[in-house]
Amino acid sequence: MPRRDRLTVNDVHGAWAIIPTPAVDNAEDWRCEDSIDYDEVAKAVDGLIVGGVDAIMAQGTFGEGATITWEEKKKMMSVMVETARGRKPIFVGVTTLNTRDTIKQLKHARDIGADGTMLGLPMWQVCDVPNAVRFYRDVAEAVPEMAICVYANPEAFKFQFPTPFWAGVAEIPQVITCKYIHIGQLSIHTAVTKKRIRFLPIEFDHLDAARIDPEFHTAFWSPCANGGPEMTIRIRDTVKEAVKTGDWSTALRVWGAAAPVMGHLMPPGGFPEFSRYNIQLDKARINASGWMKAGPCRPPYLTAPANYLEGAVKAGKGWAELCAKVRAGEL
């Protein structure tokens, strides 16, 4: 059943975990007609909720939203919603190549009880600011019951998400949060939106964002909880405690342990180069962690340079070791 009350910016706090779309063993083959491992979807959603995350998002980039069919996506949405049972918000991906298909998919997500969408821009033609803002306004008008998390990935959507864009979408009540890549302009964007959008920096920037504005920057997106939620929750809780007490030493120690481990994931060339192989590297990382079975990639995004994949595997195994230390009380 659709939720009665749309989520607001005041509902956005803590760790917002993103999951991949688990794949069956023959998903690499274009002949595979139903490539999703739905049991693993349910296991991951339940495991993250029990593990303490505050919301779950899916079907973005390493969620392979562009390479799963609509029939597969519908079934996965249902499994996520049914597994969550209202315990935590579920935001699904409905990014398509046009506004009408996106609206169709979001209406379905609403009707089965999802809470919102992590929504990127159509990817074929580069949008200017007026068209980008209009896109989100049209979607919000068509499906006003659903909250929107802007998926602000400049490499994926060929759009830089400049300050005028944030000023424009801040006027749309359904836009309550955003998956945010860099925090260099976080203060500017927070000011121009008048705090009507709670930005979600990546978990490794959460500490710095919280120090910028402890009362407002209370949430982050996590690409790593799918490798084990313990370390993600530790990051969340130590930052929260530091804000409360003013003692940042433990939060800095935890951050200092996590940052170099995940540094293995980033290939030479930084984020633009990583974005060329995002799916392949993140799935290699998640599989190596052993917490969930992400499975193989779907065509056409199947291969990546061997040294990039080696780094991803190191990141996944290293994250699993950090989670083990948290469980043992060593971190």
Task: Report whether 265 contacts 281 (CB < 8 A).
Answer: yes
Question: How many CA atoms lie less than 13 Å away from 75 in the CB half-sphere?
Answer: 15
3-state helix, strand, coil in the chain (%, to 5): 50, 10, 40
187 in helix, strand or coil?
helix
The one catalytic residue among 73, 179, 283, 314:
179
94 in helix, strand or coil?
coil
CA-CA distance, 116 to 89, in Å (whole number)? 8
Torsion of CA 300, 287, 199, 186, to 10 degrees: -90
Phi and psi at residue 259, to the nearest 5°: -60, -50
Can you give the C-alpha Rg of the chain in angstroms? 19
Tokens 């951050």 belong to residue? 255
Task: Report whether 55 contacts 114 (CB < 8 A).
Answer: no
Contacts of 206 (CB under 8 A, 6+ apart): 217, 220, 235, 236, 239
Q: Is there a catalytic annotation at residue 314?
A: no
Q: Which residues are catalytic?
A: 179
